[in-house]
Amino acid sequence: MAVSDANERPSPVLQPGRPADPEPAQPPATTSGAQPPATRSAGDSRPPQTTQADETGSEPGEAVAEAGEAPEESPGESREEILLRQRDRRRLLRQCERVLLLDFNTLAMPDWPDNFSLATARRRRDLWLFSASLAAVVFLAGVPGLVPAWVAGSGFGAFVLIALSGVPFIRRLFSSRPSYMDLLLLRQQRLREARSHVSHLEGDEGLAWQCAMMAECNPALRSTRFGTLVNLSEKRVLARQLRRREHIRLYLIFMLEAEKAYDRLQSRYFEGHQLAIDNGWERPDPAADPSEPRETGPEESAESD
């Protein structure tokens, strides 16, 4: 009986010969004035608005870059404002011109002995000290007769040979590898040369803190990791505080960024100088230094008129 009832009960799965289920009844139409979704979407569909960036075909980043490369002198600026900016640029160029004396190799120290070479040399030194001490103990043990005389003599001969192998000019005859002391002296020499070069660059007035004023041309100079260098340079004690290689390399990075800022500032200065010449505010002097433009005074302007 249960089998017959299961056969008579309709299956939810569509079987051959069974008609499809009827479609659900449509909901009654709403009486509000809202339009159907299809009609509303069709009525609200508008052509997409094109922005200025799409019309020009350029990306926002490119537009910002082009705006940054535009000259600072706008047409609405007066003569006094442009000449005042030129005087500030000329003053910065004079104060930071020593950045051009930077010697990259002196501060980079490419032949600086690394830690692996230093550890290897230390291991060889320890082995040399152990061998010399062992030979000396064998020789001294033969003095009171603890060991035979020939053993003590062999120990003395070995001690002499090992001691001579530690002499620099004899060691270089059979080995070209530097000793541990040589590597330490090389490190101290490179640090001494780098600090001397930094002292030459800084001078009596300090260079790093003055180069920090060119941050407008290179925002990297505003980095917080350069803050200590700038403060020490302003106090005129920077060269004495650089005692490690990491300090020298940080100063080198700062000076490379300052050199970039100096080049950009010089380019802007020449552009402003040419603009002043084109407007008749300055006279080109072939005999004068191009980085030192001469401003026209009121008497010269009256004579030219």
- 90 and 215 belong to one structural domain: yes
- 96 and 148 belong to one structural domain: no
Span 68-119, pLDDT tens digits:
344 455 555 676 777 788 888 899 999 999 999 999 999 999 999 999 999 9
pLDDT for 39 equals 41
Residue at 124 is within a domain: yes
Of the candidate ranges 38-47, 138-147, 205-214, 233-242, the one whose mean pLDDT is the lowest: 38-47
Name the residue range of residue 197's domain: 79-110+190-283
- 243 and 258 belong to one structural domain: yes
State both tokens at 225.
């990791």
Number of domains in the chain: 2
* CA 284 to chain CA centroid, nearest Å: 39
Looking at per-residue pLDDT, the higher value among 88 and 16 belongs to 88
- 130 and 264 belong to one structural domain: no
- Does the structure show a pLDDT above 50 at 294? no
Residue at 289 is within a domain: no
Residue at 1 is within a domain: no
- 210 and 96 belong to one structural domain: yes
Cβ atoms 297, 138 nearer than 8 A: no
- 106 and 204 belong to one structural domain: yes
Span 48-81, pLDDT tens digits:
444 443 444 444 433 333 333 444 555 556 767 7
Residue with tokens 């320890």: 126
Mean residue pLDDT across the chain:
76
Cβ atoms 187, 193 nearer than 8 A: no
State both tokens at 43.
């009525």
pLDDT for 12 equals 53
- 273 and 248 belong to one structural domain: yes
Looking at per-residue pLDDT, the higher value among 138 and 37 belongs to 138
- 236 and 277 belong to one structural domain: yes
This prediction has a pTM of 0.63
Residue at 182 is within a domain: no
- 84 and 166 belong to one structural domain: no
Cβ atoms 228, 246 nearer than 8 A: no
Residue at 11 is within a domain: no
Residue 35: Cβ within 10 Å count: 13
Q: Given its phi and psi angles, is residue 145 left (phi above 0), alpha (psi -120 to 50 degrees) or beta?
A: left
- 196 and 103 belong to one structural domain: yes
Residue at 92 is within a domain: yes
Domain boundary residue, one of 177, 200, 232:
177
- Does the structure show a pLDDT above 70 at 1? no
Q: Residue 106: in which H helix or E strand, if any? A: helix 104-108
Span 229-285, pLDDT tens digits:
999 999 999 999 999 999 999 999 999 999 999 999 999 888 887 777 776 666 665
- 133 and 165 belong to one structural domain: yes
pLDDT for 147 equals 84
Residue with tokens 């200065």: 269
- 146 and 277 belong to one structural domain: no
State both tokens at 87.
């005087």
